[in-house]
Every structure is written in structure tokens, then in C-alpha cells.
Amino acid sequence: MSTPFNPWEMACQQLDLVANKLSLDPNLHAKLRHCKRALIVSVPVIMDNGEIRVFEGYRVQHNVDRGPAKGGIRYHPDVTLDEVKAMAMWMTWKCAVVNIPYGGAKGGVVCDPANMSEREIEKMTRRLTSEIAIIIGPDKDIPAPDVNTNPQVMSWIMDTYSMGVGYSAPGVVTGKPVEMGGSLGRHTATGRGAMLVLQEAMQHRGMKPQDTRVAIQGFGNVGGSFARFLHEWGCRIVAVTDVSGGIFNSSGIDIPALQTHVANHPHRLIAGFEGGDFVGSAEAANRELMTLDVDVLAPCALANQITTDNAAAIKAKIVVEGANGPTTPDADIILNERGVWVLPDILANAGGVTVSYFEWVQDLQSIFWDEDRIDHELTKIMKRGFRDVLAIAEQEKCPMRMAAYMLAVNRVATAVKWRGVYP
């Protein structure tokens, strides 16, 4: 078994490789290798049984040279400061790849929301907001949903922040309900963006959707939307996994039926769906999914899923990274040597932050767009991002990840250089 990979070390290793490729000024490299600020807060909550539990929360801003910080807040028992720092750095590159005027941030709370009541989650969210309010705001840092957070959590953050400043400030978060200044198309934006990037890649390779078999790890917001869009396009989804296990059907899974099942499941899981063979162990299901003989593999769950343990056994022609950091650098080398085309996370899952940007713009202007405009603008940005990255990959004869990082790091480094170092 491989040694567990530290996500912050992974993010820095990726930056180092790109800095070397770009012959980046060592001073710029040093600045980009550090986060601007990291806030650690205690979040005391009076639980339903009267007990006071103190959760640990984080908010990290990696870089703000191109604009205010942007990034999600996740609630998960395995959240660490190093993970949040890595996610913040990746958000910096992601925003730069698709050329939207944000820097990267990320936040999280070490907790298990599955074992908490809604009231307890609300209390925790509101106290977290009051603790990090000193560094967030529409012009400073705009949180968004992430793992185990949703529009309701964003509503609590927005309300708590607004009570503190004395006026309604919808622009402090994105991913809100539409009724509170949220954007149409935000919930499915990450999945749609991944689909758009895959469409461009398949067309570049001459692959037809009706001949394409897809395996998707994760069936939450990202994986579920991605599966639906690909199903509608004509692809055959042959495997889906989540924390409850996996569904396998070589003839193709009925994705609309599976989505209906998940929507009606008390914990929004795929367990119990009868449209395929079910593997009841998440570990076993993911192990099988990763090595299926498919055309496209889409890890849309958590980081560190494709490692040196399984990279050599992956049979997919294309890997679409719907999750953040699902492939370790060492596994990346193996995939590249074997001719697997990896569409990297900082490009493939940038649809979410792109529509978050649209939401923020709408909130600041108090002018809201219809869904056709949202989809049109997202399509334009994601396709332009793919073409920009592909052009560098072909020119430099390098993998798409290296090309995406070269594009992003160069854009951020240029901004850092122009701004200089204060004082």
C-alpha cells in the first residue's frame, strides 16, 4: 500500500513542477508557495442534549492578487488544515485557468453532519460565520457550498453576516437559493462544466457519445449532474458509486430513475436501486469502478482516489476530474506513460466557480440573468478554457495538467509581478 499523500505537499509539488517548466522567477515561486492567510477558529455549539461541543474550523486564503478570494466551505470529519490550504491553492489556479477575476480560498469544519441535527448544523454554521466574518465579505472573500454544505448553509451564512453588518449582503456567498439572490444553473454548474470539457475532448479525439461508456465515482451534486448531462447527450453510464456502494450495469444505468431514487432516499444514497448489480461495500465498489474497461472514468468524490496502487490498472481512455485533487502526482506520471488523457480538476470542475462568479456579479449589480444566458456564458468560458489549455499542451508536448498549470501559474505570477510586494 502507498503512503497516504498529504494534499498540501501534493499541491506544492505540482506548483514546483510547473515553476521549473516555466523557469519561474524564484521570488514569485516563493510567494505563490505560501498562503496569504490561514484562520483557525473554535466553534462552540450547544448540542440538542445540552452538551457543549467545540468544533475546529478553518478559512484559508491562498492568493488575492487577481481579485477577491473564492472557495467553498466543507463539513467533514476528515477536514484538515493542510487539505484546506491545498484546496485554496487549487482554487487560485482554477480561477486563473478559466480567467475569472478571483483568487483562491477554502474553508471547513471538522465535524460529521450525518450525526448532527439540522438545528445543530445551523448553530455551528452561524457561529462559524461570526468567527470568520473578519476576513470574508463581498469584496474580500466569498464562500460557497462544498462537501456536505448546500444552499441552506449558504443562507445561514449570508443571514448571519448581514446581521453583523446591518444590511442585507447577498454577495457574501454564492450557491444561495434563487429566492435570496442565488443564480439559476448554480446547482448543476460543476457537472455541466465537466460535461462541456469532456465534449470538447471527445470531439477532438473523434469519439461519439453513443459509443462511449462512462464510470462515475460519486453521485452527489457533481457526479449526479455530470451523469445526467452525459446520459442526455447519449453516453452510456455503466457504473456509479457513492459512500453506500456501487451500481454496475454494462447495458447502461437509467440515470433519471437513479436520480429519482436518490432524491427519495432518506440519506440521498444509491443503495437500494434495482437498475443494476449492487456492490454494498464502498471500498470494493470503488476498487472495481476504477479498473473497469470503460472509455471515460470520472472521479467526482474526494481527493487521493487515483494513486500508485491503482493507476496502472486503469483502462479508461480519458479521466475527467470532477473532484478536487483525485489523482496523486506519482499516479499522474503512470497515467501519462500509459496514454490515459487526464482532463485536470482545475479545468474540468471549474464550472462551479464560474457560475458562482456569475452569481456574485448578479448580486453586486442587482440584475439577474435567465438560465439560457447562464448556460451560454458558461459554455463559452469552459470551451475557451479547454482550447487555451489544449493549445499549450500541443505546443509544449506536455500533459493537459501541466498545460493548465502553466497557463494558470503564469497568469497569477504576472499579476503578482505587476502588483509588487508591499511595502
Number of domains in the chain: 2
Supply the pLDDT for residue 414: 98
Residue 395 located in a structural domain: no
Residues 6+ apart with CB under 8 A from 149: 72, 73, 74, 75
State the DSSP code for 34.
Answer: S
Residue 3 located in a structural domain: no
Torsion angle of C-alpha atoms 176, 182, 188, 191, degrees rounded to 10: -80
**Whether 316 contacts 297, CB under 8 Å:** yes
Question: Across-strand partners of 70?
Answer: 104, 142
Characterize the bridge pairing of strands 141-145 and 103-110: unpaired
Distance CA 229, CA 207 (A): 17
Which of these three, 343, 376, 411, is where a domain ends? 343
Residue 127 one-letter amino acid: R
Host domain of residue 199: 189-343
Residues 6+ apart with CB under 8 A from 216: 223, 226, 227, 237, 239, 240, 241, 298, 300, 322
Distance CA 395, CA 390 (A): 8
Residue 390 located in a structural domain: no
**415 three-class SS:** helix
What is the side-by-side strand order in the sheet with 37-46? 37-46, 52-61, 103-110, 69-76, 141-145
For 238-344, where are the alpha helices, taking DSSP H only?
A: 255-264, 282-290, 329-337
Supply the pLDDT for residue 34: 98
Distance CA 374, CA 368 (A): 10
| Cell output for 95 | 480561477
Q: What are the tens digits of pLDDT across the range 337-350?
A: 999 999 999 999 99
Segment 255-277 shows an average pLDDT of 95
Distance CA 365, CA 404 (A): 31
Residue 183 located in a structural domain: no
Q: What are the tens digits of pLDDT across the range 183-217?
A: 999 989 999 999 999 999 999 999 999 999 999 99
Which of these three, 343, 363, 380, is where a domain ends? 343
The reported pTM is 0.94
Segment 138-155 shows an average pLDDT of 95
Q: Is 262 left (phi over 0), alpha (psi -120 to 50) or beta?
A: alpha
Q: What are the tens digits of pLDDT across the range 285-310?
A: 999 999 999 999 999 998 889 999 99
DSSP string, 156-184: HHHHHHHHHHTS--GGG-SS--GGGTPPT
State the DSSP code for 137.
Answer: B
Assign 5 a pLDDT band (cuts: 50, 70, 90): low
Percent over 90 (pLDDT), the chain: 94
Residue 239 one-letter amino acid: A
Instruction: Answer yes or no: do 213 and 298 share one domain.
Output: yes
Instruction: Answer yes or no: do 198 and 308 share one domain.
Output: yes
Nearest residue to 63 via CA among 98, 30, 40: 30
Residue 135 located in a structural domain: yes
Segment 45-54 shows an average pLDDT of 98
Instruction: Answer yes or no: do 315 and 286 share one domain.
Output: yes
**Whether 290 contacts 305, CB under 8 Å:** yes
Instruction: Answer yes or no: do 263 and 225 share one domain.
Output: yes
Query: What does the angle CA 313 – CA 316 – CA 321 come to, to the nearest 5 degrees?
Result: 100
Distance CA 88, CA 71 (A): 7
Distance CA 135, CA 37 (A): 9
Instruction: Answer yes or no: do 213 and 317 share one domain.
Output: yes
Supply the pLDDT for residue 1: 45
Q: What are the tens digits of pLDDT across the range 359-417?
A: 999 999 999 999 999 999 999 999 999 999 999 999 999 999 999 999 999 999 999 99
**Whether 50 contacts 119, CB under 8 Å:** no
CATH number of the domain at 121, please: 3.40.50.10860
Q: Which residues are catalytic?
A: 106
Instruction: Answer yes or no: do 305 and 209 share one domain.
Output: yes
CATH number of the domain at 214, please: 3.40.50.720
Residue 62 confidence (pLDDT) above 60: yes
Instruction: Answer yes or no: do 162 and 212 share one domain.
Output: no
Which of these three, 137, 169, 201, is where a domain ends? 169
Residue 3 confidence (pLDDT) above 60: no
**Whether 300 contacts 323, CB under 8 Å:** yes
Residue 362 located in a structural domain: no
